[in-house]
């Protein structure tokens, strides 16, 4: 049985805790830490059988009975806690991104090559790779059904926009939201991105623009093989959480649509109707969250490679930084311009 410590008891920390408790075998959450933990959160943790609750995550790192940690705290703490956890000899699952600063990501990569770090598993939480829809598309690429990849299309639209305050401190749409889609392009195609060109806009909330961000974008990417990719993003989607992808190739295409509560339709004299996409990302991806942690635990127990590495985390951030640069400068940006 693998003993897990959760660092960060906010929304995503609670998601991972509940998925481990309810769905994951071979692991047990024995401790949780958050500097802003409330009595309500403590009661919630106790109800799940978690006894060790602290405001200081060092209590988890110093606990020799804990084998692995899930870093679910705020983005600015991901790389510092990663370095401390590596030094403490803990296996690590870190929510995306490792950091917004490439230099600090490099520090984590270097620590993973140290005598202590090279024996540890480090996985980055890009949960969409574990969604049943996107995995099926990827399988069609791997088994050759689509032939040589020529075009990847990703649509990603949130049901509701964030506040302007959140936008101002998020790192920007390309490092906060689109980073998942950049990872999807790499995952679905199996290729690296060489160039990014962004057409940004503020179409949803002028306050987001005033905060220095954009809320809509069309992004074109050139891949190493010469294949192309297109991502369209919007921070608001009236009909729900819109998550679709397509890989088009020399032999055909593989594409996936949205999940809904059912695929039933009603046909009548007035038309045909069906259910809207699931509204919230937790509804759409709850099983994916459970699957990614299950595979992390399996990698630790079986000493096998993790499915999403720190290098994957680095590349997604590099693309996000290139996209931000393209958005601001109005030109294509080559990934060779971005350190890493």
What is the length of the chain? 340
47: tokens are 């109800």
Compute the Cα dihedral for 118, 121, 125, 127 and give only its sign.
Answer: positive
State which of 53, 88, 120 marks the end of a domain: 120
**300 belongs to a structural domain:** no
**238 belongs to a structural domain:** yes
Number of folded domains that form the chain: 2
**290 belongs to a structural domain:** no
Average pLDDT taken over every residue of the chain: 95
| CA distance linking residue 2 with residue 302, whole number of Å | 12
298: tokens are 């399996």
Q: Report which secondary-structure segment, H or E, holds 206.
A: helix 206-210
Kindly report the pTM of this predicted structure. Answer: 0.94
pLDDT digits (tens, 9 = 90+) for 146-203: 999 999 999 999 999 999 999 998 999 999 999 999 999 999 999 999 999 999 999 9
The CATH number that applies at residue 258 is: 3.30.360.10
| CA distance linking residue 156 with residue 45, whole number of Å | 33
pLDDT digits (tens, 9 = 90+) for 270-284: 999 888 888 877 788
98 close to 79: Cβ distance less than 8 angstroms: yes
Q: Report which secondary-structure segment, H or E, holds 13.
A: helix 11-23
Phi-psi domain of 319 (left: phi exceeds 0; alpha: psi -120 through 50; beta: other): alpha
Q: Which residues pair with 287 in a beta bridge?
A: none
Claim to verify: residue 166 and residue 221 sit in the same structural domain: yes
DSSP summary character for residue 278: P
The CATH number that applies at residue 40 is: 3.40.50.720
For residue 75, the enclosing domain spans: 2-120
Q: What percentage of the chain exceeds 90 in pLDDT?
A: 88
Claim to verify: residue 69 and residue 109 sit in the same structural domain: yes
Q: Burial level of 33, CB count in 10 A (0-12/13-18/19+)?
A: buried
Claim to verify: residue 146 and residue 259 sit in the same structural domain: yes
Q: Mean pLDDT over residues 214-220, rounded?
A: 98
State which of 120, 150, 174 marks the end of a domain: 120
**70 belongs to a structural domain:** yes
pLDDT digits (tens, 9 = 90+) for 134-160: 999 999 999 999 999 999 999 999 999
141: tokens are 């690429």
Claim to verify: residue 33 and residue 139 sit in the same structural domain: no
> What is the structure's pLDDT at 279?
85
State which of 120, 140, 167 marks the end of a domain: 120
**196 belongs to a structural domain:** yes
Claim to verify: residue 333 and residue 216 sit in the same structural domain: yes
Claim to verify: residue 168 and residue 77 sit in the same structural domain: no
> What is the structure's pLDDT at 177?
96
| CA distance linking residue 220 with residue 198, whole number of Å | 6
Claim to verify: residue 80 and residue 193 sit in the same structural domain: no
Return phi, psi of residue 205, to 5°.
-145, 110
Q: Mean pLDDT over residues 296-310, rounded?
A: 96
Claim to verify: residue 134 and residue 32 sit in the same structural domain: no
Claim to verify: residue 210 and residue 324 sit in the same structural domain: yes
Claim to verify: residue 39 and residue 111 sit in the same structural domain: yes
| CA distance linking residue 235 with residue 160, whole number of Å | 6
| CA distance linking residue 48 with residue 285, whole number of Å | 21
**188 belongs to a structural domain:** yes
Q: Which residues pair with 71 in a beta bridge?
A: 7, 94
Q: Mean pLDDT over residues 89-117, rounded?
A: 97
216 close to 203: Cβ distance less than 8 angstroms: yes
Residue 96 has pLDDT above 70, yes or no: yes
Claim to verify: residue 9 and residue 157 sit in the same structural domain: no
Question: Residue written as tokens 């390309």?
Answer: 174
**220 belongs to a structural domain:** yes
Q: Supply the Cα-derived Rg of the chain in whole angstroms.
A: 20
Claim to verify: residue 242 and residue 138 sit in the same structural domain: yes
**89 belongs to a structural domain:** yes
């Amino acid at each position: 049985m693998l003993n897990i410590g959760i660092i960060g008891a906010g929304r995503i920390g609670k998601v991972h805790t509940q998925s481990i408790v309810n769905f994951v075998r071979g692991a047990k959450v024995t401790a949780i830490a958050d500097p802003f933990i409330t009595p309500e959160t403590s009661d919630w943790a106790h109800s799940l059988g978690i006894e060790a609750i602290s405001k200081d995550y060092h209590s988890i790192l110093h606990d020799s009975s804990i084998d692995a940690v899930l870093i679910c705290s705020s983005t600015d703490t991901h790389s510092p806690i990663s370095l401390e956890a590596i030094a403490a000899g803990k296996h690590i699952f870190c929510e995306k991104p490792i950091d917004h600063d490439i230099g600090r990501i490099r520090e984590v990569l270097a620590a993973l090559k140290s005598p202590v770090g090279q024996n540890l598993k480090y996985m980055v939480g890009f949960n969409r790779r574990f969604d049943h829809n996107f995995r099926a598309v990827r399988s069609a690429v791997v088994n050759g059904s689509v032939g040589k990849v020529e075009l990847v299309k990703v649509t990603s639209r949130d049901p509701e926009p964030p506040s302007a305050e959140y936008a101002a401190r998020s790192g920007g749409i390309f490092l906060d939201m689109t980073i998942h889609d950049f990872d999807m392009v790499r995952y679905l195609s199996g290729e690296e991105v060489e160039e990014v060109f962004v057409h940004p806009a503020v179409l949803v909330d002028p306050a987001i623009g005033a905060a220095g961000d954009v809320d809509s974008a069309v992004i074109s990417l050139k891949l190493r093989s010469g294949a192309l990719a297109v991502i369209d993003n919007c921070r608001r989607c009236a009909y729900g959480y819109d998550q679709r992808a397509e890989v088009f190739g020399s032999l055909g295409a593989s594409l996936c649509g949205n999940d809904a509560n059912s695929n039933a339709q009603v046909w009548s004299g007035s038309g045909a109707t069906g259910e809207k996409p699931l509204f919230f990302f937790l509804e759409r991806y709850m099983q994916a969250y459970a699957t990614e942690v299950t595979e992390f635990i399996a990698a630790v127990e079986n000493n096998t490679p993790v499915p999403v590495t720190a290098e994957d985390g680095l590349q997604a951030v590099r693309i996000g930084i290139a996209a931000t640069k393209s958005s601001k400068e109005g030109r294509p940006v080559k990934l060779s311009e971005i350190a890493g």
